[in-house]
């Protein structure tokens, strides 16, 4: 290469210059080379002899028990190892892990001759703050900031400087704790205490104004009003992220999680303190952000006074205070949440009004305010725009819909509950849709995608019980559609078309041996079989044996309403299955058999006559039901209906095939014309 040629030429030139001093010796060596014999070979031989180790006599190999006895050399090696371990332990006990600190950070902040006033203190504070991200460790800068803070408190420079240095300390802490890992307990407590001090200083000093859109040179520390660069709202969102990380990593069944729930309560108090400050001195955007954070901290919690009213109703009939008084109390969480959401509806931008509406619907649903939740959901029209929203809003929408379905079930609207829960339950991914876990089976996620999805998961105390949701969904199918599975006509049987329930029944029927029900699904399937036979006692006993009903707030009233509705469906199933064996049925017989009053049984039978076209009628006194067997379909009618349905399917398929053939012929003709 060219570089090697250049190097070679330069080396030759240097050699020529160097050899000019020794030209006579070089010429003599060329003429008489024997006079200049070198001893290079002898030296190399001697060096090789010195380097070769002397062959040591091989030790005799030991056999038997003597081969396992430790020799003196092995003992010496072990002793040396033990000495090294002892020395290392002493060093680790005596010396702490060193932190690399620069001389700038470790030296004294102020010289003894220097006059410390507000200007020099501000300059020193900014000078140290600019050192972050360089060779100096952030811990050293934090320690110097704590020393500065003590000096400010001792010199009594005022709250403005203390607020500024607290803002810098919190920003330094956020920079040092960046990463996917959660904070350590000591770091978390430090962050909370510093932010609490900052808020208390801001509340106590109304002369301080925080702004984002100013420079450091525009800050004023000498005369009020004190204008500082900073944003306390942005900090609390970072603290909220760190809190969610800690709650996600912690084991939800441990005592540590219960201890960290105290931090959740303390954080909600911090948000309330920030709300009282921002309402007086913040902008509209900041107020909306803080209100939204406050709503997100409140919406999934039950109102304590509402729970106390339910407890008093269950314990005794004499209620200590009226429910109307509770709902009109200004300290009630419902009124507070309503006030915050009304402000967000008027002044919020982007996704804030949508999230506020979903949170308010969720809060109405968990307190059994079905009408208010339904009206707000229909008025907001969230279902039309939710597909264009972000992931967090979509998760909140799914959670709200599930709670709305549970609320409808508790209030006795079983059909509405089924329609609401069907969309989530039929996907088979309710755990993912509610952000309560990831399904790792047959997953094609990358590492980054998995990390991102884990960050979206909710803490355990915000979870909805998935077993309860599935139980409510299956029982709603049992009540609204199970009676149609034994209907006399095929049109009525088509009403029972739930894929989830059919899949459950197929899996259980495949079992070779079917024992007594043990799980929730087996209990519901056993209740389904009893309902088809009209055996309401067995059906009710299987439904009552499900354990997840204990998770409901007022389970007794829900179960009473559920049992009453199951009896009515058993009446309908009994009439459907046994209509071929009866010409007339007395009303008193049905009343005694199903333990219902006459009006309830009349409502069930009138519904069958009017809505389902069941061929029967009452007599004048409405005490005897007459069934018209001539109008009931026989086996020939049923088979002919099936034959007609299959003929329709065949004709549709034949029409599709003919259309496809015509399209193929047209394409061939066009292709041939192009070739010609």
Euclidean distance between the first and the last CA atom of the chain, given in angstroms as a whole number: 63
pTM of the full predicted structure? 0.73
pLDDT of the residue at 392: 92
Q: Is the pLDDT of residue 527 over 50?
A: yes
Compute how many other C-beta atoms are within 10 angstroms of the C-beta atom of residue 435.
Answer: 21
Place of tokens 């709503």: 295
Least confident of 78-87, 92-101, 420-429, 592-601: 92-101
Q: Is the pLDDT of residue 115 over 80?
A: no
Mean pLDDT of 435-457: 80
pLDDT of the residue at 95: 41
Q: Is the pLDDT of residue 442 over 70?
A: no
pLDDT of the residue at 228: 87
**pLDDT tens-digit map of 125-158:** 888 887 776 656 667 777 787 888 888 777 777 7
pLDDT interval class at 91 (50, 70, 90): very low
**pLDDT tens-digit map of 636-671:** 766 777 788 888 889 988 888 888 888 888 888 877
| Separation CA 271–CA 274 (nearest Å) | 5
Mean pLDDT of 21-30: 80
Place of tokens 């020393």: 147
Residue 566 contacts residue 575 (beta carbons within 8 Å): no
pLDDT of the residue at 208: 86
Q: Is the pLDDT of residue 396 over 90?
A: yes
Rounded to the nearest angstrom, the gap between the alpha carbon of residue 603 and the centroid of all alpha carbons in its chain is 46
Rounded to the nearest angstrom, the gap between the alpha carbon of residue 433 and the centroid of all alpha carbons in its chain is 10
**Helix (H), strand (E) at residue 627:** strand 624-627
pLDDT of the residue at 402: 95
**pLDDT tens-digit map of 332-371:** 678 889 999 999 999 988 889 999 999 999 999 999 899 9
pLDDT of the residue at 103: 38
| Separation CA 567–CA 158 (nearest Å) | 75
pLDDT of the residue at 65: 56
**pLDDT tens-digit map of 189-229:** 888 998 999 999 888 888 888 888 888 788 888 787 888 88
pLDDT interval class at 104 (50, 70, 90): very low
Least confident of 78-92, 220-234, 276-290, 436-450: 78-92
pLDDT of the residue at 398: 94
Which residue, among 262, 229, 226, 232, has the nearest Cα to 247 in the 3D structure? 262
Mean of per-residue pLDDT scores for the chain: 80
Higher pLDDT, 460 or 32: 460
Give whole-number Cα distances, 169 to 194, 221, 246, 490, in Å: 8, 18, 21, 74
pLDDT of the residue at 333: 77
Mean pLDDT of 672-676: 72
Pairing of β 616-618 and β 624-627: antiparallel
**pLDDT tens-digit map of 368-389:** 899 999 999 999 989 888 888 8
| Separation CA 152–CA 121 (nearest Å) | 8
Residue 360 contacts residue 404 (beta carbons within 8 Å): no
pLDDT of the residue at 294: 93
Q: Is the pLDDT of residue 54 over 70?
A: no
pLDDT of the residue at 113: 60
pLDDT of the residue at 352: 92
Compute how many other C-beta atoms are within 10 angstroms of the C-beta atom of residue 542.
Answer: 22
Give percent of the chain with pLDDT exceeding 70.
79
pLDDT of the residue at 85: 65
Place of tokens 């041939």: 672
pLDDT of the residue at 133: 66
**pLDDT tens-digit map of 513-522:** 777 888 898 9
pLDDT of the residue at 470: 92
pLDDT of the residue at 612: 72
Higher pLDDT, 13 or 675: 13
pLDDT interval class at 538 (50, 70, 90): very high
**pLDDT tens-digit map of 213-272:** 888 788 888 787 888 888 888 989 999 988 998 898 888 888 888 888 888 989 998 999
Place of tokens 């001093």: 21
pLDDT of the residue at 308: 65
Per-position DSSP letters for 229-253, written without gaps between them: E--HHHHHHHHHHHHHHHHHHS-TT
Which residue, among 409, 518, 530, has the nearest Cα to 474 in the 3D structure? 409
* Cis before 493 (ω within 30): no
pLDDT of the residue at 517: 86
């Amino acid at each position: 290469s060219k570089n090697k040629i250049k190097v070679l030429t330069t080396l030759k030139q240097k050699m020529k210059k160097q050899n000019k001093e020794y030209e006579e010796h070089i010429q003599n060596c060329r003429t008489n080379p024997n006079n200049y014999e070198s001893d290079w070979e002898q030296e190399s031989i001697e060096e090789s002899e010195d380097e070769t180790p002397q062959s040591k006599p091989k030790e005799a190999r030991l056999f038997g028990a003597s081969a396992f006895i430790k020799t003196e050399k092995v003992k010496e090696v072990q002793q040396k190892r033990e000495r090294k371990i002892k020395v290392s332990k002493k060093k680790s006990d005596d010396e702490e892990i060193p932190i690399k600190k620069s001389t700038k950070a470790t030296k004294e902040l102020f010289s003894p001759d220097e006059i410390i006033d507000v200007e020099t203190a501000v300059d020193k504070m900014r000078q140290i703050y600019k050192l972050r991200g360089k060779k100096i460790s952030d811990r050293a800068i934090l320690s110097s900031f704590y020393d500065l803070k003590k000096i400010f408190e001792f010199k009594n420079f005022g709250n403005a400087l203390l607020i500024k240095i607290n803002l810098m300390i919190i920003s330094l802490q956020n920079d040092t704790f960046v990463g996917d890992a959660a904070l350590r307990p000591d770091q978390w407590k430090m962050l909370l205490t510093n932010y609490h001090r900052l808020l208390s200083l801001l509340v106590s000093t109304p002369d301080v104004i925080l702004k984002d859109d100013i420079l450091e040179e525009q800050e004023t520390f000498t005369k009020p009003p004190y204008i500082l660069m900073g944003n306390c709202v942005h900090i609390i969102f970072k603290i909220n992220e760190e809190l969610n990380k800690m709650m996600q990593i912690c084991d939800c069944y441990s005592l540590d999680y219960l201890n960290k729930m105290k931090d959740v309560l303390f954080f909600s108090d911090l948000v309330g303190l920030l709300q009282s400050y921002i309402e007086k001195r913040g902008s509209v955007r900041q107020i909306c952000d803080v209100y939204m954070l406050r709503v997100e901290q409140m919406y999934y919690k039950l109102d304590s006074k509402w729970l106390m009213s339910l407890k008093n109703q269950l314990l005794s009939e004499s209620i200590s205070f009226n429910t109307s008084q509770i709902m009109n109390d200004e300290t009630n969480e419902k009124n507070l949440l309503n006030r915050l959401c009304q402000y967000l509806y008027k002044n919020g931008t982007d996704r804030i009004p949508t999230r506020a509406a979903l949170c308010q619907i969720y809060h109405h649903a968990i307190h059994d305010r079905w009408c208010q939740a339904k009206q707000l959901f229909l008025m907001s029209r969230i279902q039309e725009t939710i597909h264009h929203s972000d992931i967090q809003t979509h998760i909140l929408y799914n959670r709200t819909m599930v709670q709305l379905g549970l609320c409808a079930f508790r209030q006795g609207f079983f059909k509405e509950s089924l329609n609401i829960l069907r969309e989530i339950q039929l996907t088979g991914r309710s755990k993912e849709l509610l952000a309560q876990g990831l399904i790792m089976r047959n997953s094609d996620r990358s590492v980054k995608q998995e990390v991102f999805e884990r960050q979206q998961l909710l803490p355990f105390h915000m979870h909805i019980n998935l077993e309860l949701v599935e139980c409510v969904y299956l029982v709603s199918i049992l009540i609204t559609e199970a009676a149609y599975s034994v209907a006399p006509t095929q049109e009525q049987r088509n009403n029972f078309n739930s894929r989830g329930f059919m899949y459950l029944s197929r899996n259980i029927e495949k079992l070779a041996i079917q024992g007594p029900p043990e799980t929730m699904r087996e209990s519901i399937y056993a209740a389904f079989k009893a309902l088809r036979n009209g055996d309401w006692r067995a059906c009710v006993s299987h439904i009552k044996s499900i354990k997840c009903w204990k998770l409901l707030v007022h389970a007794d009233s829900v179960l009473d309403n559920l049992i009453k509705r199951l009896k009515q469906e058993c009446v309908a199933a009994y009439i459907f299955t046994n209509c071929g064996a009866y010409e007339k049925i007395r009303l008193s017989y049905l009343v005694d058999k199903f333990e219902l009053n006459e009006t309830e049984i009349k409502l069930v039978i009138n519904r069958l006559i009017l809505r389902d076209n069941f061929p029967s009628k009452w007599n004048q006194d409405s005490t005897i039901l007459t069934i018209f067997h001539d109008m009931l379909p026989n086996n020939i009618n049923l088979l002919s209906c099936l034959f007609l349905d299959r003929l329709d399917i065949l004709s549709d398929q034949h029409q599709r095939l003919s259309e496809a053939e015509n399209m193929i012929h047209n394409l061939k003709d066009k292709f041939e014309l192009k070739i010609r």
